[in-house]
Structure 1
Amino acid sequence: MTRLRPSRRSRLPSAVAASRSLAAGILLWGAAATAQETAPPAVTNPLPTTTAPDPARSAPVPAPAPAQSVAPGLPTVPGLQTTPAGPARPPLVETPGEANDVDDVTLPAKPAAILAGTAKWEEAVPTLQAAFKRIEADLAKAGLPPAGRPIAVFAKTDDDGFQFEAMIPVTAIPDPAPAIGDGIRFGSTPSGRALRFNHKGSYEEIDGTYETLTAYLDAKDVVVQDRFIEEYVTDLTDKADDKLEVNIYALPR
């Protein structure tokens, strides 16, 4: 029985409105060639008029209609296009983890498309990215949308590299299972009791979380399986992306 020794990661390099007034004027009389027309002076006690008011001039100007917003489930404004939100891709355990904390959780077995491979540590991020992209492309061709976050199960590691299984959960596997890309098979994600360690920061800095994991296992005298799981809560885009969040799972024996 061996303990998880993740020191293998030491090779990784983290509408304003404005009011206006009209100036009053007087009608100038004289022999000038052009008479200037202005508004009559204000009258304190105007006389009653005997002329019927012109409806076109006296009718109030309607205020402009307020801008309409579009909310999900409500009719849209004609001519306005909206794009519905895509389906959610939840993690294996939907209760979020806290950085530098350990959670005792139970992983459900979810159907998944799986692709096995190997890589050098310095090529970990691009290799895993390519594996996930390939699986999702083949799932799209088969009409099977992803139903969970990408997962990498590290089955064997050494100082130079690692063997892995890249997994993309799906809602269900059709019977019979459709033919998908070469090397891709259907199976299920790891399940059962697990210790979750949440990593927030770049992939370059993930060694620190593994050191916390190892120290916890040693302090609690916990023996785990010879594999560990990384679940990418945010997209694995670049090894220096400091917005990355990863759930690391260790499976006790």
Structure 2
Amino acid sequence: MEAGQPAAPPPQANELPAQPGDPFGEEVEFAERRILSIKGGAGWENGFEALRQAFETVQAGLAERKLTADGKPVVVYLRADDAGFDFEAGIPVAGAPETADAPADDRLGIRRTPSGRAVRFTHRGAFDTMDRTYDAMTNLLDEKRLDVGEVYVEEYQTDPLTTPQDQLRVFIYVFPK
């Protein structure tokens, strides 16, 4: 740096929700997945821990039922507000029986994800920094004048059980009305 030049500002961790080349606002077709999943709910302060516990339960369920994972872990968000969220956390399964309906309660069961036209975004970093990604998503959707439904899906591109939180990579899908 030459004398008299102002110092560059320090880099901010996860300044952008995605990296160059990551999908952010890309329209795609989201295929239905049959997942072994469990429903749950959490507050934002313990949200990632609740998701990790749900994925651990699903992993154990896969082994117990002798099912084979066939895709990336997903979270279907059923409700979200300032206090927290309700979700289904699951893993797509190969050869899931067509007649295996979801249980009436929150126990482990075979369920179907939403499907159809979607807009895909990428988040990189810890779960507790996702609010920046969701803010950027909302701004882009507003710019495009896209109205989306209340249910959305996160598909973990990195293993949420073994990847350090600050290295998570997640695709987020929202479904236009």
The residue type equivalent to 2:146 in the other structure is: V
Q: TM-score scaled to structure 2, two decimals?
A: 0.79
Are the structure 2 counterparts of residues 239 and 170 from structure 1 closer, same or farther at C-alpha, using a change threshold of 3 Å? closer
The residue type equivalent to 1:198 in the other structure is: T
Residue by residue over 1:125-151, the C-alpha shift from the partner in whole angstroms, topping out at 9 and shown as x without a partner, is: 110011111011111111101111111
Out of 117, 120, 123, the residue aligned to residue 193 of structure 1 is 117
Higher strand share: 2
Q: Is residue 203–residue 240 contact of structure 1 (8 Å, CA) maintained in 2?
A: no
Match of 2:154 in 1: 230
Out of 39, 46, 49, the residue aligned to residue 126 of structure 1 is 49
Match of 1:247 in 2: 171
Q: Is residue 169–residue 189 contact of structure 1 (8 Å, CA) maintained in 2?
A: no
The residue type equivalent to 1:248 in the other structure is: I
Higher helix share: 2
Match of 1:153 in 2: 76
Percent identity of the aligned residues?
37
Q: Which moved more, 1:200-209 or 1:97-106?
A: 97-106
Match of 1:183 in 2: 107
**Could you tell me how far 1:239 is from its partner in structure 2?**
9.8
**Could you tell me how far 1:109 is from its partner in structure 2?**
1.1
Q: Is residue 111–residue 189 contact of structure 1 (8 Å, CA) maintained in 2?
A: yes
CA–CA distance in structure 1, aligned partners of residues 42 and 163 of structure 2? 15
Match of 1:213 in 2: 137
CA–CA distance in structure 2, aligned partners of residues 165 and 115 of structure 1? 5
The equivalences for 1:54-69 within 5 A come to: none
Q: TM-score scaled to structure 1, two decimals?
A: 0.57
Are the structure 2 counterparts of residues 207 and 165 from structure 1 closer, same or farther at C-alpha, using a change threshold of 3 Å? same
Gaps of 5+ in 2: 1-13, 15-19
CA–CA distance in structure 2, aligned partners of residues 192 and 226 of structure 1? 14
Q: Is residue 41–residue 85 contact of structure 2 (8 Å, CA) maintained in 1?
A: yes
The equivalences for 1:1-253 within 5 A come to: 98-99=21-22, 101-174=24-97, 177=100, 183-237=107-161, 241-253=165-177
CA–CA distance in structure 1, aligned partners of residues 22 and 154 of structure 2? 14
Gaps of 5+ in 1: 1-13, 15-96
Aligned length: 156
CA RMSD in angstroms, aligned pairs only: 2.4
Write out the 4+ residue segments of structure 1 that deviate beyond 3 Å after TM superposition.
97-100, 175-178, 237-240
Are the structure 2 counterparts of residues 138 and 238 from structure 1 closer, same or farther at C-alpha, using a change threshold of 3 Å? closer
SS in 2 for 1:99: coil
Match of 2:10 in 1: none
